[in-house]
Amino acid sequence: MRLNILIGGKAGQGINKVSEIISNTLTRYGYFVFNYRDYPSLIRGGHNFNILSASEEKIESHDNKIDFLITLDEETEKIHLKELKKECQILSYKEFENEGRNLNIALAGALIKTLGIPIEELENEIKREFPDKPEPLSSAQKGYNSKKAVSNLKKIEKKIWIMDGSKAIAKGAINSNLDVYIAYPMTPATNTMHEIAKNQLKNKLMVLQAENEIAVANMALGASFTGAKTMVGTSGGGFDLMTEAISFQGISGIPLTIYLASRPGPGTGVPTYSAQEDLDIALRGGHGEFPRVVVAPSNPLEAIEKTNEALYLAEEFKTISIILSDKHLAESEFSTNEKIKKPSKIKISRALPGEKIIRASSYEINKELTTTESPEIVKQNADARTQKYEKIKKFIEKKFEMIKIYGNKKSDNLIIGWGSTSGAIKDAIKGLDCKFLQVLYIKPLSKQIKKEMSKAKNIILVEQNVTGQLGRLLREKTGISVPRKKRILKYDGKPFTRDELNEEIRKKLK
């Protein structure tokens, strides 16, 4: 079973509230949900919509074809007409116009009844959301009572939690006892900043908004140098501004973790939509040659765990860790019943300024920690950086999960993907004869990837960018190229949907 519910209206009409009530009610009822948010870059008006998918199996994607349409305005039905299944049920704002501000809650109530979920489940959720207000409850009940049940969902006993990627990155950082988070607002990275900032005093950390990303990255290096576990967050444009400081990290060896949530296009691009176009800059941003770690979680559980690993590696190896995400991971809500792995404890064992004389530099320096131009030392320092990367690589290979494999492990059809695209791939290959290799660590790359690629008879690359950036990297590292006709690349700002991707993959299977 899989239900796809589209909720649409204008910004400010409470679309996310409808999704939240339905998601919470469904997950407490034992169903997994996935909530995709689609909105333009404006504050009031326009057309926003969410696609909320629900299933008794774990899902990490939404569909293109809709079973239930909830409209909060006139436009929604017109805009999405083509996506509606024949048997699609429409719940319209017109039926509840007397509910005023609680229109959205009445519509949520109507849908819960349509799905055949008992009224107590809805009432409990509304009471949790609005403990002291009678109006939302009454609107929810009115909505509920106005409909007939068309399905009959049975309660399942499961403990399911919901989270979006932004909150997960924040949780991973807080679980790691982060001390300082510095950022400048930039969609889609900002929600992580908001989340960490919210309870900063309780969590004994500090969140500072600096004047720009250049200041952010340099301040972060300063704070890390004097002993704070420090992380920064940004999107592509802000990351570009940080790249000189990233290079400074490379030579100074001051630990730093960057959360990079990318968005589509060069320039300002399409700020509130999604793409995987910034893998190249994550791998190469910053002049000179120096080690780094790039890790790309695909869902909140991985985001929590990989953020901890990134912070751990940064401190342990005095390196830079980049956590690569995008709008689709940052702002979609995922549900799971899996438990979070215990975080690695991050210890600052280096001596700090204040304790003894500690010096670092953006210049090459000698053993006396003063500037040098000696060719011998310049070479020694470069060799030391290369050796450091080898150590990082060995450590990750031994300790952390670098890839995941899903589907039919014996299949000759190998799909390769990474990051937020993984959710749609995992869901799209259900029932197909193929294996999915998800790349989690992109720098360093797992040796297993070459083995899998060599074994496969048919390799299909799925990425949300124009040039197949992971594919290019794999060709460089393994010598194996995925032919153009075997690449499924989407670059219109909209993430893959399960049903569309399923069709695309079928066409490329052997």
Beta strand 487-489 pairing with 458-463 = parallel
Indicate whether 221 belongs to the interface with other proteins (CB under 8 A): yes
Beta strand 458-463 pairing with 45-55 = unpaired
249 vs 276, beta carbon nearer other proteins = 249
352 vs 378, beta carbon nearer other proteins = 352
Indicate whether 229 belongs to the interface with other proteins (CB under 8 A): yes
Indicate whether 186 belongs to the interface with other proteins (CB under 8 A): no
- Which of these segments, 66-74, 248-256, 410-418, 470-478, binds other proteins (CB under 8 A)? 248-256
Indicate whether 225 belongs to the interface with other proteins (CB under 8 A): yes
**Interface pick for other proteins out of 11, 79, 119, 210 (rule CB under 8 A):** 210
Indicate whether 215 belongs to the interface with other proteins (CB under 8 A): yes
- Which of these segments, 51-59, 128-136, 247-255, 492-500, binds other proteins (CB under 8 A)? 247-255
66 vs 254, beta carbon nearer other proteins = 254
Indicate whether 226 belongs to the interface with other proteins (CB under 8 A): yes
Supply the minimum distance, in Å, between the C-beta of residue 325 and other proteins. 24
287 vs 394, beta carbon nearer other proteins = 287
* Residue 205 contacts residue 280 (beta carbons within 8 Å): no
**Interface pick for other proteins out of 128, 133, 204, 510 (rule CB under 8 A):** 204
Indicate whether 200 belongs to the interface with other proteins (CB under 8 A): yes
Q: What is the DSSP letter of 129?
A: H
DSSP code per residue over 150-165: S--PPP-----EEEEH
**Interface pick for other proteins out of 52, 117, 180, 186 (rule CB under 8 A):** 180
Q: Helix H segments across 400-488?
A: 421-428, 448-455, 469-478
Structure tokens at 324: 């690569």
Report the C-alpha gap between 407 and 414 in whole angstroms. 10
- β-strand partners of 85: none
DSSP code per residue over 165-196: HHHHHHHHHHHTT--EEEE---TTTHHHHHHH
Interaxial angle between packed helices 134-145 and 119-129, expressed in degrees from 0 to 180 and rounded to the nearest 10: 160
Beta strand 441-443 pairing with 293-295 = antiparallel
Supply the minimum distance, in Å, between the C-beta of residue 247 and other proteins. 8
- β-strand partners of 487: 461
Indicate whether 244 belongs to the interface with other proteins (CB under 8 A): yes
The string over 272-285, giving b where at least 16 C-beta atoms fall within 10 Å of a residue's C-beta and e elsewhere, is bbbbbbbbebbbeb
Indicate whether 189 belongs to the interface with other proteins (CB under 8 A): no
Indicate whether 270 belongs to the interface with other proteins (CB under 8 A): no
- β-strand partners of 460: 415
> In whole angstroms, what separates CA 443 from the centre of its chain?
18
**Interface pick for other proteins out of 41, 370, 374, 467 (rule CB under 8 A):** 370
* Residues from 330 through 369 that contact other proteins (CB under 8 A): 348, 352-363, 365, 368
Indicate whether 212 belongs to the interface with other proteins (CB under 8 A): yes
109 vs 253, beta carbon nearer other proteins = 253
**Interface pick for other proteins out of 108, 223, 303, 323 (rule CB under 8 A):** 223
Report, in angstroms and rounded to the nearest whole number, the Rg of the chain calculated over CA atoms. Answer: 24
Q: What is the dihedral of CA 496, 502, 508, 510, to 10 degrees?
A: 150
Supply the minimum distance, in Å, between the C-beta of residue 158 and other proteins. 38
**Interface pick for other proteins out of 248, 259, 317, 436 (rule CB under 8 A):** 248
The count of chain residues that interact with other proteins, using the rule CB under 8 A, is 49
Supply the minimum distance, in Å, between the C-beta of residue 145 and other proteins. 50
**Interface pick for other proteins out of 50, 141, 190, 230 (rule CB under 8 A):** 230
Supply the minimum distance, in Å, between the C-beta of residue 255 and other proteins. 11
**Interface pick for other proteins out of 11, 79, 90, 206 (rule CB under 8 A):** 206
- The angle formed by the CA atoms of residues 389, 390 and 391, to the nearest 5 degrees, is 90
* Residues from 47 through 66 that contact other proteins (CB under 8 A): none
Beta strand 2-11 pairing with 45-55 = antiparallel
Supply the minimum distance, in Å, between the C-beta of residue 360 and other proteins. 5
55 vs 218, beta carbon nearer other proteins = 218
Report the C-alpha gap between 390 and 394 in whole angstroms. 6
Supply the minimum distance, in Å, between the C-beta of residue 363 and other proteins. 6
- Which of these segments, 179-187, 319-327, 398-406, 467-475, binds other proteins (CB under 8 A)? 179-187
Supply the minimum distance, in Å, between the C-beta of residue 244 and other proteins. 6
Q: Let me know if 468 is exposed, middle or buried by CB neighbors in 10 A (0-12, 13-18, 19+).
A: buried
Supply the minimum distance, in Å, between the C-beta of residue 367 and other proteins. 11
Supply the minimum distance, in Å, between the C-beta of residue 182 and other proteins. 8
Which region, left, alpha or beta, applies to residue 392 given φ > 0 means left and ψ of -120 to 50 means alpha?
Answer: alpha
Q: Let me know if 358 is exposed, middle or buried by CB neighbors in 10 A (0-12, 13-18, 19+).
A: middle
Q: What is the DSSP letter of 149?
A: -
Indicate whether 377 belongs to the interface with other proteins (CB under 8 A): no
Report the C-alpha gap between 312 and 327 in whole angstroms. 25
Q: Please report, as ranges, the residues that interact with other proteins according to CB under 8 A.
A: 179-180, 182, 200-201, 204-206, 208, 210-212, 214-215, 218-230, 244-245, 248, 252, 254, 348, 352-363, 365, 368, 370-371
